[in-house]
Amino acid sequence: DTEVTQTPKHLVMGMTNKKSLKCEQHMGHRAMYWYKQKAKKPPELMFVYSYEKLSINESVPSRFSPECPNSSLLNLHLHALQPEDSALYLCASSQGISNTEAFFGQGTRLTVV
Amino acid sequence: DAKTTQPNSMESNEEEPVHLPCNHSTISGTDYIHWYRQLPSQGPEYVIHGLTSNVNNRMASLAIAEDRKSSTLILHRATLRDAAVYYCILRELIYNQGGKLIFGQGTELSVKP
């Protein structure tokens, strides 16, 4: 199984809502990532988890809150988002060292209204 | 983070070879060169990676300059399904961490029948 599964595929939320994005992998990977991608732009790194601990936060606003409850799951909790946060949110995983490939999910298309 | 420079777009004919260049003059000795591609409406997909020597796999070949300041991704026979944005990425070696996979602007490859 070389899949990274993201749910939901699409999400529409209001600016006062709280929602969560979920990412799951069963490849035994110990590094997991969240990226944000706006239309026609490259993915931007948001967070990196390594061995279930947050190792990199790319100065992401606190309205985005990541969580890694176990080695297979990665969540991104969303609260009080702005319309400009509408984007494709991508999750990825890798074995945790730089000479291995990363696997990406298909993303969650988020629209904030 | 070391940067990469790629042409914004390239065009190829179907069944012809394609050479996608990447400059990375500030590469450090422990940075791996990774290539990913992103098809429309999909998450990025791993293509190939290398450190110093040229690499081949079923998808492509990677040619790395002797001074490692540039590399070329080679698709031996382009098909219409190879139309995508191709990203050249330097991934630094950080033991026991996921490290950073930072995307540059990428090259949009179009393939003509």
Confidence of residue B102 (pLDDT cuts 50, 70, 90): confident
Q: Residue B88: closest CA among chain A residues belongs to which residue?
A: A42
Query: Considering only CA atoms, which of A60, A64, A66, A75 is closest in space to residue A25?
Result: A75
Mean residue pLDDT of chain A comes to 94
Alpha carbons B12 and A106: distance in angstroms, whole number:
26
pLDDT for the residue B100: 78
When pLDDT is averaged across residues A32-56 and rounded to a whole number, the result is 93
Alpha carbons B4 and B2: distance in angstroms, whole number:
7
CB contact under 8 A, A45 and B102: yes
Tokens representing residue B17 in the block: 């070879």
CB contact under 8 A, A104 and B101: no
Whether the CB-CB separation of B106 and B6 falls below 8 Å is answered with yes
Whether the CB-CB separation of A48 and B97 falls below 8 Å is answered with yes
Q: Which residues on chain B are in Cβ contact (under 8 Å) with A39?
A: none
Alpha carbons A111 and A108: distance in angstroms, whole number:
10
Whether the CB-CB separation of A107 and A89 falls below 8 Å is answered with yes
Alpha carbons B2 and B82: distance in angstroms, whole number:
27
Strand order in the sheet with A64-70: A4-7, A18-25, A73-79, A64-70
pLDDT for the residue B29: 87
Whether the CB-CB separation of B91 and B31 falls below 8 Å is answered with yes
pLDDT for the residue B3: 87
Alpha carbons A39 and B85: distance in angstroms, whole number:
13
Alpha carbons A82 and B25: distance in angstroms, whole number:
38
pLDDT digits over A7-41, tens only?
999 999 999 999 999 999 999 998 999 999 999 99
> Measured between CB atoms, which of B30, B44, B97 is closest to A31?
B97
Measured in angstroms, the CA of A19 and the nearest CA of chain B are apart by 22
